[in-house]
């Protein structure tokens, strides 16, 4: 009888331990259900870093004083380097200054190299260069060379950026271009859910690092700048940016690691696109475009169809949610990212993730 009681006691203790382990595993599983790792992918200059900055401002309440100081330094460099790029392009395209008095000003700026600082004096000189008709002629031909999309913002605000007591505002930070190298992880909470937004560099040299981010990904946001249909790569001026993006998108969606992973496409820079499409046909990128020229919607539909075709080629029947955004606009990002959060929560709760047909 005593041995029987001992066996029952041992079984009771073992059952309690088993229940404790089950409860712990259930708690971990429940916690994991509320953790969402979102991978932010796209070619260089697509706007991934702008999305990250907006998410920080929306969900984390802004940036630190140190970050703001770093943005001040970066946007001043953006201003100088963008003007240097235009001055180099003027030589290549054989365009002259309308005002010959600006020739030594341009030479002085070119001689600064990569170490120049945006002083108050230099900011007024950049402002003068920007107003020159010859330089504006070069700017109008910017599709023929690589140039930062936001350069006109830097030039139009050059005098303010050069002030001794300059402190960047939120829009300045959004417009600042800092090339992403390595992996940048932004974490934030929203109610009971925890999010990790993982951004990696989009230039070709940075893409080998993407593999390190592929574990436990709950969703992918793929970015493409709409204005890229008439722009070239930073790394190779012979390659159209949108063609590169479509190829990269195909590489992502056909990766077996992401078979069941929801993929969201953000077609970014709609503001630049709406201006560009009035002057430059989408046929410069896609010769099969037959829509109405000079209007945005037919061209947008054609671009969306191109990405959907890539998705269906590699993952028949898989949904692709597409948002048309200007990442620099806070409300655009607030709405688009809220849609992503709602969609992935519903998908993982219902467990209706995509499976490739056999």
Active site residue 199: yes
What six digits make up the tokens of 342? 């709602």
- Among the options 50, 176, 186, 231, which is catalytic? 50
Residue reference for tokens 């700026």: 109
Active site residue 313: no
Per-residue pLDDT averaged across 129-151, rounded?
93
- Among the options 170, 203, 280, 321, which is catalytic? 203
pLDDT reported for residue 181: 66
DSSP string for 212-231: GG-TT--EEEEEEEGGGGG-
Reduced to 3 states, what is the DSSP secondary structure of residue 225?
strand
10 Å CB burial of residue 194 (0-12, 13-18, 19+) is: middle
- Among the options 172, 199, 224, 244, which is catalytic? 199
pLDDT reported for residue 45: 83
296 vs 303: CA distance, rounded Å: 11
- Among the options 177, 186, 224, 332, which is catalytic? 177
pLDDT digits (tens, 9 = 90+) for 190-202: 888 899 999 876 5
pLDDT digits (tens, 9 = 90+) for 12-49: 776 666 666 555 544 444 455 789 999 999 988 899 98
pLDDT reported for residue 25: 44
- Measured on CA atoms in the order 315, 321, 326, 327, is the torsion positive or negative? negative
Q: Are strands 183-190 and 193-200 parallel, antiparallel or unpaired?
A: antiparallel
Q: Answer yes or no: are the C-beta atoms of 170 and 333 closer than 8 Å.
A: no
pLDDT at 150 over 80: yes
pLDDT reported for residue 218: 93
pLDDT reported for residue 28: 44
- Among the options 45, 125, 224, 332, which is catalytic? 45
Per-residue pLDDT averaged across 323-347, rounded?
94
Active site residue 330: no
Active site residue 50: yes
């Amino acid at each position: 009888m005593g041995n029987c009681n001992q066996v029952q006691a041992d079984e009771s203790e073992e059952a309690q331990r088993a229940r404790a382990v089950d409860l712990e595993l259930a708690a971990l599983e429940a916690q994991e259900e509320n953790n969402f790792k979102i991978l932010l992918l796209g070619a260089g200059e697509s706007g991934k870093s702008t999305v990250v900055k907006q998410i920080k401002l929306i969900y984390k309440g802004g940036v630190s004083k140190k970050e703001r100081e770093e943005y001040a330094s970066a946007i001043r460099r953006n201003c100088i380097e963008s003007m240097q790029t235009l001055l180099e392009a003027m030589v290549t395209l054989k365009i002259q200054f309308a005002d010959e008095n600006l020739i030594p000003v341009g030479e002085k700026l070119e001689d600064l190299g990569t170490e120049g600082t945006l002083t108050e004096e230099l900011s007024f000189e950049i402002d003068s260069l920007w107003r020159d008709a010859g330089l504006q002629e070069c700017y109008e031909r910017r599709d023929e060379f690589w140039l930062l999309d936001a350069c006109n913002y830097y030039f139009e605000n050059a005098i303010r950026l050069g002030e001794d007591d300059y402190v960047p505002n939120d829009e300045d930070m959004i417009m600042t271009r800092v090339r992403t190298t390595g992996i940048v992880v932004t974490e934030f909470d929203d109610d009971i859910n925890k999010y990790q937004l993982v951004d990696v560099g989009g230039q070709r040299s940075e893409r080998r690092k993407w593999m390190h981010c592929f574990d436990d990904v709950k969703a992918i946001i793929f970015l493409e700048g709409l204005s890229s249909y008439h722009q070239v790569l930073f790394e190779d001026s012979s390659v159209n940016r949108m063609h590169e993006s479509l190829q990269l998108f195909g590489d992502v969606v056909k990766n077996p690691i992401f078979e069941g992973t929801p993929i969201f496409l953000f077609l970014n820079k709609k503001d630049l696109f709406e201006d560009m499409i009035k002057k430059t046909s989408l046929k410069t990128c896609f010769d099969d475009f037959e829509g109405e020229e000079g209007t945005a919607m037919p061209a947008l539909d054609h671009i969306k169809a191109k990405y959907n075709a890539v998705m269906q080629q590699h993952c028949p029947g898989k949904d692709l949610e597409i948002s048309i955004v200007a990442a620099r606009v806070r409300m655009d990002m607030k709405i688009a990212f809220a849609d992503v959060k709602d969609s992935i929560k519903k998908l993982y709760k219902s467990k209706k993730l995509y499976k490739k047909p056999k």
